[in-house]
Every structure is written in structure tokens, then in C-alpha cells.
Structure 1
């Protein structure tokens, strides 16, 4: 029950980040660099306060890693700039498509060959992605697609880095804290181009403190009770929640292209994941 609750909250937080970011950047309430800076700083402050209150200020044996912090910053900055030009549901779909492709590639690099069902799923998902990117009025911008794809690769790396975390709160807190040098560098580079409003700052703080800081901690907690297959499949729900949120909160249209490409991409990835799971279960039963 704890794992189910943690997972539900984390998935809602993921979708919330897409909605909050699009509300801020789509309405030009704040620039992408400032949104990223405030988001990460809000996450750092929130997590360190929670860590101090729950541990009495004692040093923790779990302090994240520089690699995870690098993935986190890369994800956050490309995520923000991508949402300047693409809609909520499209962005979430591209993001989590890239996440799953990253996880599949990691399997291949680790020596696992794809079975027939996995290849079928990859082809179906790739077809859905091609359909989404076909030229036309409903096609996402190419720069937005590339940036969100990079964000997805980075988030996939961050997720893999968090599997097996012994102390999710401490690891997440120190991962955020380790982004501070990069945040300062981004601030120095982008300060003269900053465009701020009260609404934009508030949305960035909500994204950083609640949807990111607390949400990512809960995700690391959920990963302790989920298999890699379960974690991968469950994240496919996020684009659906984000698309609905975009329609409700950002008045975005739910285009037929998004629906059809989403069904193809998510369905194809689901075939990949479940095909591998079924294959592994059969191998275990024979051994």
C-alpha cells in the first residue's frame, strides 16, 4: 500500500511539473533560465529544511552523487526551454518516450538482446513518433522536440541512478544541493535576460518545492518497492495526466494527432516492456 501511494503521488508530481512549467513559460510569465534557477533553488531549500527536521541536523551516510546531480540539472534546464515552444501533453509524451528508449538502450549496452515482441514494440513506438513529428500545423517545434528528448534521456539516467537508494530523502536532497554550482553559473549567464513576474516566480517555486523536491523524494521511495518493469510501465501514465491537465488548466486543444501518436508510442513501449517481462518470467519458470 505504501508503494502504491508513493507511486501515485510521484506520478501526479511528474505531471504537475509539466503543467506548472507550461503555465509559466507558455504565458511568458517567466523566462526558461529563471524558471530553472528558482525551481532548483526552491527544491534545495525545501529538501534541506525537511532533512534537518527529520534527522536533527545529523550528517547522513547517503549524499547522492555528482552524476545524479548532473542528470538532474540537464533534465531541468532542457525541460524548461522545451516547454517554451511545445504544449503540455506533447512535451510529456516526448519526455517519457525518451525515458523508455534510454532504459531500453541501457539494457542493450548491458548485453541484453531484444526479442521479437520488443522489436515490434520499438517499431510501433517509432512509427507513432514519426507521425507526431510529420510536418503540419499540429507538429511540435523541432527545437522543442530535441530539448525534451534530451530531458528524457537525462531523467532516465536520474531514475536509474536512484534505484536501490538506501535513503531517498538524503539522496534527493544532496542531488539537488550538488546542482548549486551549475545553478550559479546559469544565473550569471542569464541574469541580464531575466524576465520575472509574481505569477511566474510562484509557479517555479511550486514546481521546485512540491512537484520536484518532494515529488522526486517520493519517487525514490517508490522505486524501492517497484521492479524496473513496473517503474517503466507506470511512468507511461504521466503523459495522459499531463495532457488532461493541459486541456483543463492551460486551455490547450487535445488534437487527434496527439491522441493517435500517443496511443502508438505508449502502446509500442508497453509491448516492449511487457514482452521482456513475459520472456524473463518464462525463462525463470524453465530454470
Structure 2
């Protein structure tokens, strides 16, 4: 979801890492497709299960899976190590991100959400520039951030001219787009907290557990306050969607990402992340029959160019 573009933070254990080989590239392509499909999985069941309840159940299932994984590997999750405050903050930001994603997908398309959400690397670069010593942005990264924000502005302009989705207004669609950008900013804020606090020395499993456990509690509570539990429908599609989100995305894909980070250089792996919004747009168009304008296509290319520029590694002297 992230040194700058991954779902969450990288493991901190030092090791010798190499450039991605053919195997790593194939795995990254699969991961990007998995992450890109997530918005489609969420949107396909938003009419059957309340968005916040869906997000809360997703996090709750994944929390149990991560706890079981950590227990099986002997990784301590509840040992006092000074990370509680930072972990709770990261969890709250993570919960806020998914509030924006799930509510936003009731208002805007999955393809637009995929592009707006993956502005996160640009927000991350800005946050690390301010809060983490040694993470100062270079000229190329500033250019990338400028390109991405130009793409956001163009996409918002497109939102004011595109026909509204059935049952919604044009302003509702723009609000959904804005929630997508806010989700990207909250994702970036989570990354900055992980990198700039005691969580930078915690295990990947514990960092993920904090985010999932806190978000599960917050999201389920908000769903109950909104009365979403009364209208939920349990259908095969709902079960499949939640299984995909919790097991495949929040558990398997994130642990696979961490495994890759222990063997390959993070900067080179992160460049693949620009494929994720492309997959998201493609799945939205192919599976949900979503349409997009030439203006939005140009905006998407600007955002993607910004992601690539932000992730270009610095040259070593």
C-alpha cells in the first residue's frame, strides 16, 4: 500500500539485496495486478454490504491471519518495545485511508479511485522530505510531484465535465475523487509515521498487525454507528470479495512484498508500482464497463509519470 509506493513499510533487518531478476519481476507484475483489482472487488459489493463494515471485516480477517502467521514463526507481537504510540497512530491513519477508499468508491469509479489513490508515492516523498533526515527530495522528484499534482488537477477538471454515474450527481463524483486523493495522502502519512518513528525498527508483521487491528476496531465501530450491519447481505459475491481483500491482498500480497524486500533492492522494486493504477483502470473498464475521457487518460499519464520520477533512485558517486 511502502518505502514510497508499497502497501506498508519494509522490514528493517539488514541483508544484502540485489537487483530484481526475472522471477522478482513476474512476482511484482502479479502483485500489481492484485492491488489494481482491489478497487473492483470493493466496488462490486458496495451495494450489498455497507462500505465501512466491508472494510472493517476485511481488516479483522487479515488481523487474525497475521497473528497466526507471526505466532507460527515465533515473531512477538505483544512485547513492549516502545512502538505502541506510533503503532496506534499508524493504525488510525490506515483506518482513515480505508474510510476514504470504501466511501469514495460509492461515489466515483474504480478506475478513477485507482489513479487518485496511487498519488500516495508523491505525498510520501513530500512527507519524508519534511520529517525524515536524509530523505531530502531531488530535482527529479520535485518534477515528479509537480507532474502528479498537475495530473490530479486535470482529473478533477475532467470530473466536473463527465456525466454523473446513475443515481449520483456530478458533485458526488467529484467528492469521491477527492476522497481518493485524501486516501493517498493518508497512505503516505502512514508510511511517514512508520519510517520516522520507533516502528522503523519493528518487524514487518508487527507493523502490519498494528495497522490491521486498529483499523478493524475503528471501521467496525463506525459501521455499527452508521447502522450498516442491519442492511448487510451475505452472498457468494460478498464472501468472494472479502476473501480476496483479506486473504489475497491484506495477507498474502503484503507478506510477499515483504519477502521480496528482504532479497531485492526496494528502490528498483518500487518502480513497478506505477503499473498498479494501470491495472486498476484496465480492470474497471473491462469488468465494470467504466468509461474514461481523453482528458482523464492524459491526467492518468501525468500521475504515472510523477510516480516513476519520484521513484528514480539517486545516482551513486
TM range, smaller chain: 0.7 to 0.9
Residue equivalent to 2:58: 39
User: By percentage of residues, which structure has more helix?
Assistant: 1
Within 5 Å, give how 1:258-273 maps onto structure 2: 258-273=296-311
**Quick check: 1:68 aligned with 2:90?**
yes
Q: Which moved more, 1:64-73 or 1:1-10?
A: 1-10
Alpha-carbon offset, residue 124 of structure 1 = 2.8
Residues 1:158 and 1:20: Cα distance change in structure 2 (over 3 Å): same
1:86 aligns with 2:118: no
Moved more, 180-189 or 29-38: 180-189
In structure 2, C-alpha distance between the alignment counterparts of 1:58 and 1:272, rounded to whole Å: 35
Deviations 1:65-120, CA, capped at 9 Å, x for gaps:
223322321222211001111112211110111x1221221243146665544443
What's the TM-score, normalizing by structure 1? Answer: 0.80
Of 225, 238, 257, the match for 1:200: 238
Aligned residues of 1:6 and 1:221 also touching (Cα < 8 A): no
CA distance in 1, matches of 2:213, 2:163: 39
| Unmatched segments (≥5 aa) in structure 2 | 1-20, 165-169
Q: For this pair of structures, how many residues does the alignment match?
A: 275
Q: 1:233 to 1:75 in 2, by over 3 A?
A: same
Does the residue aligned with 1:179 lie in a helix, a strand or coil? helix
After superposition, the CA RMSD in angstroms is: 3.2
Sort the Cα spacing of 1:260 and 1:29 in 2 relative to 1 into closer, same or farther, 3 A: same
Q: Is the 8 A contact 1:125 1:269 kept in 2?
A: yes
Once the 2 structures are TM-superposed, how far is the Cα of residue 9 of structure 1 from its aligned partner?
Answer: 4.2
* 1:23 corresponding residue in structure 2: 44
Aligned partner of 1:190 among 213, 226, 233: 226
Structure 1 segments unaligned to the other structure (5+ residues) = none
**1:12 is aligned to 2:40:** no
Could you say which residue in structure 2 is the equivalent of 1:221?
259
Instruction: State the TM-score, normalized to the length of structure 2.
Output: 0.73
Q: Distance in 2 between matches of 1:168 and 1:4?
A: 22
